[in-house]
Amino acid sequence: MSQSELPAEMTLQRSSRDQSAVHDQLEAWLSTVLPAGSDPAVTLLAGVDSNGMSSETVLLDVTTTQDGERVTAAYVARVVPAPEDLPVFEEYRLGDQYEAMRLAAELTDVPVPAVSWLEPTGEVLGTPFFLMERIEGIVPPDVLPYTFGDNWFHDATPEQQRHLQDSSVEVLAKLHAIPDAATTFAFLDPAVTGAEGATPLARNLVRTRSWYDFAQRADADSQPSPLIERGLAWLEANLPADEGDPVLVWGDARIGNMMFQDFTPVAVLDWEMATIGPRELDLGWMVFAHRVFDTIATSLGVPGMPDVLRAEDVAATYTAASGVEVGDLTWYQLHAAVLWGCVFLRTSARQIHFGEIERPEDPESVFHHRPLLEAMLAEVGA
């Protein structure tokens, strides 16, 4: 199956932004932040459509004069979506993303791209953005999902796939090893934005409910999701008793948000969901994200990749890398399932907005992980 054959509900337009205007606006702005005489020239290369659903991502080269010579550097712009384009997230906290990436790169050897300039006001492009270095590497694709086959990760040997899996889990162990994360990354605590709760996990769950409330009221015709509401009720009633010390949680911890060379991570991307909390938040998300793509594949008659990123393998690799035994991931995977539901509610609302799909009678029909979510709710008796 090719991308052109993908069902309409699995395609996604991200922006109505005028790219020619973006070029001129970036070039004019850079002339104000770079040293006098730099004479910046911007070349926009492309947006990124094969991975990610939340931020706008623009690839660009910037040529400047340095010591009398013209020098070109490669960048990526991460841009907050315009409100009229129905953003996925309730809030983007771009400055927090920028600072989390800066600190993670400084405090670990995790390959987090260097961040360059932050424009927090929205006065240049209409919404805030920052520039970061552009890394050369390849990514397991989201569209079509890598589980469909005919891509470099699916077609690799089992040994190469396992190396990619283990080295990706080791990234989490290194991020989680940053000492005193609750202080260093205090700006990521959901309490900063008003979420109340006795622990970081409780506050993260409050923020999850807030995201759902935001996601299911995209417009006057939006409808609630009984599945998500059942999931939230169970999660709230069954908060894990022992969270351990809070760590830096990358948030959107999945292999589709990493770039690889020789099946080893060379860039860790997409920090919109960064927070502090239990390490299992990242581990559950990494496992569940793969299960979502495997469910999409098998629902369309494709074998998928059932032996990749199994919970027991991920936990074992993580313990070997970190020295920390992790708890059961059931709660965290169901939390991930609820969050994916919020994502699908918002992305489907965006597709309706851009005329890509008709409004479905059943709002949960856009949940590509629906069979998986239903099964998980049944397993826990929710």
Residues belonging to the active site: 252
Q: Decide: helix, strand or coil at residue 349.
A: helix
Round to whole Å and give the CA distance between 205 and 199: 10
Do residues 242 and 328 lie in contact, with contact meaning Cβ atoms separated by under 8 Å? no
Instruction: Find all residues with CB under 8 Å of 327, minimum gap 6, and list them.
Output: 240, 242, 280
- The DSSP output letter for 145 is B
Please write down the long-range contacts of 304-310, taking CB distance under 8 Å and 24 or more positions apart.
Answer: 304/147, 305/146, 305/147, 305/154, 305/161, 307/158, 308/161, 308/165, 309/165, 309/255
- Angle (CA) 21-24-26 rounded to 5° is 105
Name the token pair of 45: 């290369």
Name the token pair of 149: 């086959």
Q: Decide: helix, strand or coil at residue 190.
A: helix
**What backbone phi and psi angles, to 5 degrees, belong to 82?**
-70, 145
